Amino acid sequence: MAGLAESGSNPDVDLLYDINGLAKDAPHWFDRGMEFVGEYGLLLAMVLLVLWCWWTVRRRGDENAAPAVAALVWAPLAAGVAVLVNVPIRGFVERPRPFVDHQGLDVLVSGKTDFSFVSDHATLTMAIGVGLFVANRKFGLVGIGLALLEGFCRVYMGVHYPTDVIGGFALGTAVALLLSPLAMALLTPVTKAVERSRRAGWLIQARSVGRAGQEALIPGARVERPEEPDLAA
């Protein structure tokens, strides 16, 4: 894999220079903004997106709330597992950062001394995005879009080759999807138990929906109705 970086005619390197070249023509303030977004901003956005999706699911409070929350719990767990899987991959491939082998790159973030393939940021964001897609299609599409933007930022910043990003997308997607059935089988009973809890049930369903609505969802459950006043009295 390191050999791919040595050929200037390689499409991977050509695309690296094309995307990173945009940083040279951009204003300084824009580069600083891209540096923050690519290093921290989009990761924070993914966390907020997961929390927003959780808030929406618990307020809706239907019978699918527990499985949906289980899928939301799996999204960041999948990202963590994917990054752990990436540790031996990086050690095996040992691909240097692009600025080590190529001159003239505008590197926006200094201090990157580890290996380049695959991108942790691309892996994290795509794993969360695909995990969100399992829980909620709309939020998942937004998450996948943010992951694609993260991949662009990493190349723009001069710290990854395009194939580093593609590899991260593939790794994050594979972990999130392939392990999803096992994760859901383990997490759904936990979220259902939490849903039945008096103290922690609000984590799965909002109180206004969870207590009043649960009786309506249980077959054969009696719903107490207040007695109507006797207007004839």
**Which of 44-48, 160-164, 206-210 shows the lowest mean pLDDT across its residues?**
206-210
Model confidence band, residue 208 (pLDDT cutoffs 50, 70, 90): low
Q: What tens digit of pLDDT does each residue of 66-108 get? A: 899 999 999 999 999 999 999 999 999 889 999 888 888 888 8
Which architecture does CATH list for 17-197?
Up-down Bundle (1.20)
Q: What tens digit of pLDDT does each residue of 141-154 get? A: 999 999 999 999 99
Q: What tens digit of pLDDT does each residue of 115-134 get? A: 999 999 999 999 999 999 99
Give whole-number Cα distances, 98 to 38, 40, 114, 121, 167, in Å.
Answer: 17, 21, 11, 16, 15
Residue 112 is encoded by which pair of tokens? 């990157």
In Å, the largest CA–CA distance within the chain is: 95
Q: Are 180 and 87 in contact (CB under 8 A)?
A: no
Task: Note the pLDDT of residue 167.
Answer: 96
- Tell me how far apart the alpha carbons of residues 228 and 199 are, in angstroms, rounded to a whole number: 33
Task: Note the pLDDT of residue 207.
Answer: 64
Q: Could you tell me the residue ranges of all domains in the chain?
A: 17-197
